[in-house]
Amino acid sequence: MSDHTNDPLKRVEDQLKKCVKCGACRQNCPAFTAFQREPAVARGKVALAQHILKDDITLDDQTYQAMSKCLLCGSCVEKCPNDVPTDEIVIAAREALAQKRGLTTFHAAVGQVIKSRTRMKMGAKMASVLGPLFFKKVPETSGLRLRFPLPFVGNERHIPAVTNKPFMDRYPEVSTGAPGKPRIVFFVGCMTNFCYPDVGEAAMALFKHLGCTVIIPKGQQCCGLPGMSGGDIATVRELAVKNLAEMERYEADYVMSACATCGGALHRLYPLVIGKRNSELRARLDALAKKTVDASQLLHQLGLKPGETGSGMPGRVTYHDPCHLRTRGLTRQPRELLKSTPGIELVEMEGADRCCGLGGTFNVYHYGSSMNINEAKSRAIIETGADAVATGCPGCMMQLSDGLKQHGSAVEVVHTLQLLARNVAR
Ligand code: SF4
Ligand code: SF4
């Protein structure tokens, strides 16, 4: 029997006992939709985690694969009558497996990239320069498609172009606003920085319009979420500590993110992975979590008034709830902001609250299943007859674009902030 003292599953031992195997968590589980097998659903993962903790199961590839089939979307947690936090259990089980078996080559490589800002910047530079060799522009869109298949990137896949000028290089660390107005620290995130700088530009335009001081600490790193998929929690902890120190460098009223995933990391994941092991660090992370807000939540709270022009608006817009906003209860604010904007008619899609299928590196590691999950989402968007789909997560934007383009759809994929900013003078 193994030594359980440092077993991450000990953290959730009491939670594991709460599962009564009722199966209510099957409903809306995207992993179950894709794989149609018990180990994919929360109940199966809880049972598997119990065996890993008891050390009475062989930790082979099958065990590893079963635990990798989860998008950490939190839908099962919302459905569970006994409040079993399956997402926390999966995170702990993945960490336990990584400790016992090591990381896969893929996940070890992901860890090496996300924990080095320099490596990320170099990679982005190379991608923006060499991109045209490997990718062709998809006609009439800003997306790219591979010229030939590469490992982990099928040639049917559409991905966003990498900018040759990352968002964080475009602004000084402090953009001073009007006296007495809120001071906001902006946690930018890698997708906004390298692939969707227009989302960052929209955030700057909106918060400057409200007179806010916006601070972009230049030493901020990846939030670490991509490390979760393979159980590389050591990297997530390292990034949590570095980002905490960066966010604390300035006195601010809010720490704001326009990326649901990054905001979710600051808000919930960091305190979770640090646990109770270091009470001083945990207290600082709890304080950071309390200050963390989503951009749409803050704009709503600060009373952003819709502009009057309505110009450049797509017309009919539908909204997709990113999992990391939905699980924080942030579903009303983006809708109300969109509804109050002239030139926008908000139409609801079927299953707006369902996961788009991205799930961090799930989308790379299980690409086919990720797109199977996305199928219902793409169809639901198209069925609304909307001209555009808005959302609050650059990761979801990438996934929605890929799905829609594979359907030959011309529906525009935008961040909510991009639509709101069209009505704001710069
Ligand atoms: S995780 Fe919750 S919903 Fe799923 S089987 Fe266990 S008790 Fe039921
Ligand atoms: S977190 Fe989402 S994908 Fe994972 S088991 Fe729960 S419902 Fe399924």
Query: CB neighbours of 193 closer than 8 A, spacing ≥ 6?
Result: 166, 167, 168, 200
Closest Cα to atom 2 of ligand 2: 73
Distance CA 292, CA 271 (A): 13
Is 315 domain-assigned? Answer: yes
Please write the tens of the pLDDT for every residue from 17-44.
999 999 999 988 999 989 988 888 999 9
Protein residue whose Cα sits closest to atom 8 of ligand 2: 29
Q: What is the pLDDT of residue 127?
A: 66
Please give the residue range of the domain that contains residue 413. 305-421
pLDDT at 92: 94
CB atoms < 10 A from the CB of 117, how many?
Answer: 17
Q: Does 357 fall in a domain?
A: yes
Q: Is residue 271 part of a domain?
A: no
The tokens for 351 are 């299953």
Mutational pocket test of ligand 1: of 12, 21, 88, the residue with most ligand atoms within 8 Å of the beta carbon: 21
Which residue type does 362 have?
Answer: F
Q: What percent of the chain has pLDDT over 90?
A: 67
Domain for residue 359, yes or no? yes
**Coil, strand or helix at 314:** coil
Output the domain CATH number for residue 405.
3.40.50.1860
Cα separation values, 66 from 2, 61, 121, 134, Å: 22, 8, 33, 33
Write down the pLDDT at residue 115. Answer: 82
Per the domain annotation, does 71 fall within a domain?
yes
**Ligand 2 center to 30 CA (angstroms):** 6
Of all ligands present, the nearest one to the C-alpha of 354 is 2
Pull the structure tokens for residue 80: 């569970």
8 A C-beta contact, residue 85 and residue 25: no
Q: Which residues line ligand 1 (CB under 6 A)?
A: 19-25, 42-43, 46, 79-80, 82, 84, 86
Q: How far is CA 55 from CA 69, 226, 231, 254, in A?
A: 21, 27, 18, 44
Run of H or E including 202: helix 197-209
Distances (CA, A) of 68 to 28, 94, 113, 282: 18, 8, 20, 28
Edge-to-edge strand list for the sheet holding 344-346: 344-346, 315-319, 388-391, 412-415
In angstroms, the CA 47 to CA 90 distance is 11
pTM of structure: 0.90
DSSP track, 70-98? -----HHHHH-TT---HHHHHHHHHHHHH
Check which CATH number belongs to the domain holding 71 and give it. 1.10.1060.10
Of the residues 69, 102, 135, which one is the last residue of a structural domain?
Answer: 102
Pocket test for ligand 2, best of 86, 91, 323, 366 (most atoms within 8 A of CB): 86
* Structural domain contains residue 249: no
Q: How many domains does the chain have?
A: 2
| 135 in a structural domain | no
Domain boundary among 102, 135, 154: 102
Contacts of 118 (CB under 8 A, 6+ apart): none
Which residue among 46, 69, 102 closes a domain? 102
In a domain? residue 349:
yes
Per residue in 265-307, pLDDT (tens digit) is 999 999 998 887 789 999 999 999 999 999 999 999 999 987 6
> DSSP strand E in 182-244: where?
183-187, 213-215
Whether the pLDDT of residue 405 is over 80: the answer is yes
CA-angle at 201, arms to 223 and 313, nearest 5°: 120
By most ligand atoms within 8 Å of CB, the mutation choice from 25, 41, 79, 90 for ligand 1 is 25
- Which numbered atom of ligand 1 lies nearest the CA of 26? 4
